[in-house]
Chain A
Amino acid sequence: MTDALIFDTVRTPRGKGKKSGSLNEVPPVQLASKVLKAIEERNNINTEDVDDVVLGCVHPIGEQGADIARTAVLESNWHQTVSGVQVDRFCASGLEAVNIAAAQVMSGQADMSVGGGVESMSRVPLGSSGGAWMADPTVAYNSYFVPQGISADLLATKYNYSRTDVDKYAVSSQQRASEAWKEQRFKNSIIPIKDQNDLPILEIDEYMRPDTTMQSLGALDPSFEKMGAHGFDDVAILKYPELESIKHVHHAGNSSGIVDGAAGVLIGNKKMGDKYELKARARICSFASIGSEPTIMLTGPADSAEKALKKANMKASDIDLFEMNEAFAAVVIRFMDVLKVDHSKVNVNGGAIALGHPLGATGAIILGTVLDELERRDLSTGLITLCVGAGMGTATIIERI
């Protein structure tokens, strides 16, 4: 099998995902296109050599609809022979896109591909693509559908994570992200977003709240309590009758932030590396996606990580650094408990609680984050994983070369 080599990782800063957010004025196709242009310029490639652009996007409707990957290719003025495909594995779409691009290279069907993702949550809001899973009564009944926030609280209730546990985790995410920014640890991958006049729009991850404390989080009301009281808690308990009630511990401060952003990873074989004299920063060792129980929904990362580890003939202890998407604090805590991984190895530069989670892009963003950090620390192996809607998980293992 051909090695899938990572040549470059690029991401935008993350803007607050609301109308007052800095990236709200930038259409999602432009966010994706700025990433592609940066990849072209930074690596000095002739885009005719790129076989495919695979982009994750979770709400592929409206201005994110009609295959935003191909649209971004055209808008970037890349060669017309470059195809584009949009993929949706909910929150892991960006990582799935990287895995698909890697698979194209590993199987010898492509020499060079881009995997990445984009989501403008301020312009195409969360939930706007609807879907049978939650809205079709037959499906929602049969799968005991509850919204993700209820699942996160169900997970915390089932495994006894208290409000203090999840808030402590959230404070550490903010502190680590703040530290990372102070030390410019994201500088290798991040590109400033500028307008058509070269005027700056956003250069930093603007969602962060470095001054977050246990006390400030303590003042926040649980986000999903009201929703739970309108039937969803009872549906969760129908599936988990061992629980008397659902304890609602998650809120805006210990859940991932709603933000806008895009990212891309340039992946190719050795031939392409040689042709453009690109340094192979890492190789993709293995990847895996799995399905898990859909009502609790968010337990998939450990299962997908174990599957990917097995494929790579590795153990969790062989991994130097983990990026486990901080969809909700309890999800990361559960992941660390199951894999018996110490917090000192997980999300060392903070995560989506502090920085935000632009759904379709996050997987590709955090792959770049862990690779940058492996280089900074001169470590070797990284595992990236995300929990996924409807009970799934996706994981990728990379190794520096």
Chain B
Amino acid sequence: MHLNNLKINIDDKGIINLVIKSNNLLFNNEVINDFETAIDYISNNKSAIGVIISTEHNNYNYDYDFNYLFSLNNSASIFKNITRFSNSLRKLETLGKPIVSAISGSIKLGGLEIILHSHYKIADTDTNTKFVFTNTKYGLIPAIGASQRLPRQIGIENSLKLFLSNKIMTIEEALKIKLVDEVAPKDKIIDKAKEYILNNLISLQPWDDKNYISKQPTPFTNDNLGYFISKIAMLHSKTADHYPSVKVLISAIYEGLNTDINSGLKIEARHFTWLLQNIETKSMINTLIINKPKNEINESEITIFKKSFIENYAAEGVRLLINGVAAAMIENAGKRLGFELGPLAMADKLEIQCVISQLDSIDASVAALIRSMQKNNRNGLSSNKGFYDYKEGNRKHIWRGLTDLIPPANHQLNIEEIENRLLYSSINNIFYNYIKHSELKNSQEYDYMAINNIGLPKWTGGPFTWVKKNNINNYIKNNEEYAKTLGSRFIINKKIINIIQNESV
């Protein structure tokens, strides 16, 4: 049997070694087919007594093949193919024969997905074995069971910590939380695996043992309920209503852990299928993974954009204040968009004078407000007085006197309108500077730099991606509307429109 990605060896005792040949394996149609073929072969081999999963390149640096996933153009097709992959490995997991993984090198989420199907995990101590978890927040959740198997194995809290961080976990730590069962030097690892197989000829995952179900951790057992309730709030408050993978991940864990593994796998696959088609998810994956620039971005290039970007953000906040929007609404709109600070807190941090350098053609009253603030000795964070009051550099609350200087209008905009204006202004600012410096990068690289280095929220996928994904005609129309009353920063250079229209979505 020849497969491009896998190899099968059988020793004289009937122990099968399933070797992953490819370095940096990406799960795509060919890989799924190879696993199906190999696992069918293994299941049909009656004389086999156990299976060792190992790799030729000493790593489990595997991931989804995003080009493949995005080529699956409807829910049914995504769900079908994910389920096909999952069912195949599930078949291996439930053979009744011991499945052992020999783990080496760096293990990414894709590698973990494979490894978690084994009943016993032995990590080698010589190849710097480590789990490298990428924060689920900016991408996808597991597709073939890691959100179900990991919490069943190491608990809900440990699992969420790993999925929602960029943590690198050493094998010592992994051993401690029982993510791996044993460690051994590299040249002993296969012998150890064989030894385990010979000593455990009948083997099941704990979650396939009918005594296990009553002991399985669920969101309602032990201390999990309180943890779960407060974790949801923490995650919701940090992501507002963006970064859908976070909500989907914790939902998959909650729903899946209230039932058995088979239903759990379907639950996860359905969430994955939904998430893969979500605009924010697609935008982030496109910009941060698929189109990630090959070269590091130069700090000097970032500086050109970043200063202008954050000053403009602060200035837009002050303009909103001039327009009669209540300060709390402005600040909350910024936070809901995913900025670390509200615009007024940002103005304070930069010193409020910074706003002056960003003034638009019709911003005379903005300058007047800044001057009155300065006359009140409210220059910003460094003096503990700005739009906020501070105590030793810690923000206390919005300055109570602000409403005397600039009273809020009786009719307040709704929060979405304020968010929209901040977002449009921010995106336009990046475009404006792009036109000035377009020789530096192409639009994909700008998108990457915008969300990774400049400070535009990551869920947008960058200015070009955001406009493309959200209908360019709306973008043009809304800017025209803004430009009528709010100034020239809402007049979009034709070159930008041309770039967006000439690139495929």
Contact = CB atoms under 8 A, between A and B. Distances in A.
Contacts of A147: 229
Given A237-B332, A241-B328, A244-B327, A231 B233 contact: yes
B254 A231 contact: no
A242 B328 contact: yes
B328 A243 contact: yes
Interface string B317-337: 000000000111101110010
A234 interface: yes
Contacts of B255: 136
Nearest to A128: B225
A233 B230 CA distance: 11
Contacts of B233: 140, 145-146, 230-232, 234-235
B250 interface: yes
Interface string A103-120: 000000000000000000
A136 B255 CA distance: 8
Contact of A137 (B241, B251, B329, B332): B251
Contacts of A252: none
A135 interface: yes
Interface in B446-502: none
Interface string B236-262: 111011000001001100110000000
Contact count band on B: 20 to 34
B220 A245 contact: no
Interface in B395-411: 397-398
B232 interface: yes
A220 interface: no
A134 B398 contact: no
Interface string B397-429: 110000000000000100100000000000000
> Which of A136, A146, A241 has the largest count of B CB atoms less than 10 A from its CB?
A241
Contacts of B412: 242
A138 interface: yes
A130 B227 CA distance: 12
A134 B233 CA distance: 9
Contacts of A141: 232, 236, 247
Contacts of B397: 244-245
B304 interface: no
Contacts of B328: 241-244
A196 B329 CA distance: 62
Given A130-B220, A135-B225, A137-B250, A242 B236 contact: no
B219 interface: yes
Contacts of B235: 231
B234 interface: yes
Contacts of B432: none
A238 interface: yes
A135 B230 contact: no
Interface in A187-221: none
B228 interface: yes
Contact of B329 (A231, A242, A245): A242
A241 B336 contact: yes
A130 B222 CA distance: 12
Contacts of A146: 233
A228 to B, nearest CB: 9
Contacts of A140: 229, 232-233, 236
Nearest to A138: B251
A10 B268 CA distance: 52
A346 B426 CA distance: 53
Contacts of B238: 231, 234
Contacts of B225: 127, 130, 135
A127 B226 CA distance: 10
B254 A137 contact: yes
B247 A137 contact: yes
B332 A241 contact: yes
B164 to A, nearest CB: 13
Nearest to B419: A241
A235 B235 CA distance: 10
Contact of B237 (A138, A227, A234): A234
A197 B326 CA distance: 67
B278 to A, nearest CB: 14
B237 A238 contact: yes
A141 B238 CA distance: 12
Nearest to A240: B332
A137 B331 CA distance: 26
Nearest to B328: A244
B332 A135 contact: no
B236 A238 contact: yes
Nearest to B342: A244
Contacts of A137: 232, 247, 250-251, 254
Interface string B329-356: 1011100100000000000000000000
Contacts of B329: 241-242
Contacts of A231: 230, 233-238
Contacts of B331: 244
Given A241-B333, A241-B336, A138 B229 contact: no
Nearest to B249: A137
Given A140-B232, A230-B234, A231-B233, A238 B220 contact: no
Nearest to B416: A241
A48 to B, nearest CB: 41
Contacts of B241: 238
A32 B336 CA distance: 49
Interface string A320-358: 000000000000000000000000000000000000000
A100 B415 CA distance: 42
B237 A135 contact: no
A138 to B, nearest CB: 5
Q: Which 7 A-B pairs have the closest CB atoms?
A: A234-B237, A231-B233, A231-B234, A241-B332, A244-B328, A231-B237, A137-B250
27 contacts: A127-B225, A130-B220, A130-B225, A135-B219, A135-B232, A136-B251, A136-B254, A137-B247, A138-B251, A140-B233, A145-B232, A146-B233, A230-B234, A231-B235, A231-B237, A231-B238, A233-B237, A234-B236, A238-B236, A238-B241, A238-B336, A241-B328, A241-B333, A242-B326, A242-B332, A242-B412, A244-B397
Interface of A: 127, 130, 134-138, 140-141, 144-147, 227, 230-235, 237-238, 241-245
Given A141-B247, A238-B332, 18 more contacts: A135-B219, A135-B220, A135-B228, A136-B251, A136-B255, A140-B236, A141-B232, A145-B229, A145-B232, A227-B230, A230-B234, A231-B237, A235-B236, A238-B236, A238-B240, A241-B415, A242-B332, A244-B331
